[in-house]
Amino acid sequence: METRKSAKKTLTRIFLGFGLVLLLLIGGLVALLMFVEVDSLREPLARELSDATELRVELGPLHLDLSRGVGLKADGFRVRSQDGTRDLFSAEQLVVLTELEPLLHKQVKIQEATLVQPVVRIYLDSP
């Protein structure tokens, strides 16, 4: 009976220690993400999107978004024609879910992108 109580105490201490370490790791990760200057990714990300689409892509200020995982939220998103004279596509917000490790190295690996209040403009050129 004494051995059983001792084993139970040891097991309880192990679980409490593991829980404390896990809590500290999660808290440290959240604190680290809060101090990362995410808006510094705005220009490189817009440039990569522009190069990939061959259109002018403009992003508003970037913020960290932890509502559905690790993500970036741009307050404003606009795609313009190559010469920049026409808006082709815009959205009030662009929310991008990313992988954590590349984000810590100032790289973005996108898992999912969501547009909030998107607007598509279609231009019919006269003959």
Answer yes or no: do 45 and 98 share one domain.
Answer: yes
Contact 58, 46 (CB under 8 A): yes
Q: For residue range 7-38, what is the model confidence (pLDDT) as tens digits?
A: 788 888 888 888 888 888 777 766 766 666 77
Residue 125 lies in a domain: no
Q: For residue range 44-96, what is the model confidence (pLDDT) as tens digits?
A: 888 988 898 899 999 999 988 877 777 889 999 999 988 888 899 999 999 98
Q: Which domain does 53 fall in, by range?
A: 37-120
Q: How would you classify residue 94: left for phi > 0, otherwise alpha for psi between -120 and 50, otherwise beta?
A: beta
Q: For residue 127, is pLDDT > 60?
A: no
Answer yes or no: do 30 and 49 share one domain.
Answer: no
Answer yes or no: do 62 and 5 share one domain.
Answer: no
Angle at 56 between CA 115 and CA 60, to 5 degrees: 50
| Integer Cα distance of 85 and 33 in angstroms | 37
Q: How would you classify residue 10: left for phi > 0, otherwise alpha for psi between -120 and 50, otherwise beta?
A: alpha
* Domain count for the chain: 2
